[in-house]
Amino acid sequence: MKLKTIPSVLALSALLAAPAFAQDTSASQYVPTEDELDVVRVALTKIGCTVETEDQAALVEEYTGYDAASLEAIVDLLRIYQEVVDATNDTGGITLVSGDCAV
């Protein structure tokens, strides 16, 4: 997987509405486990809670070892849980707002 795809995936999934994830009825829909969510929460916390650059996205990928599809599903679920919000800048990205990153 190319590292360039991670920022796009994270930015795209940050912009997706929660209902879009909930309405996906494909048989191959991946549902992340709580342990996988925790791994991403820890990775996001390690990088300062916000993913806005390719370097930050690459670090999340490195820390988690997850592929783009898995990261997208995990971020979508964290969004549904209201633990991830859009980053507050013009470049896109996401911010974790739970745990040690709670505002």
- In CATH, which of 1.20.1440, 3.30.70, 1.10.287, 1.10.10 is domain 5-20+31-101? 1.10.10
| Distance in Å from the first CA to the final CA of the chain | 33
What's the token pair of residue 39?
A: 């791994």
Q: Residue 16: name the closest of 102, 89, 78 by CA.
A: 78
Output the pTM of the full model. 0.72
CA–CA distances in Å: residue 94 to residues 1, 32, 66, 73 = 21, 18, 17, 14
pLDDT in tens, 41-85: 999 999 999 999 989 999 999 999 999 899 999 999 999 999 999
Domain residues of the chain, as ranges? 5-20+31-101
d(CA 60, CA 66): 9
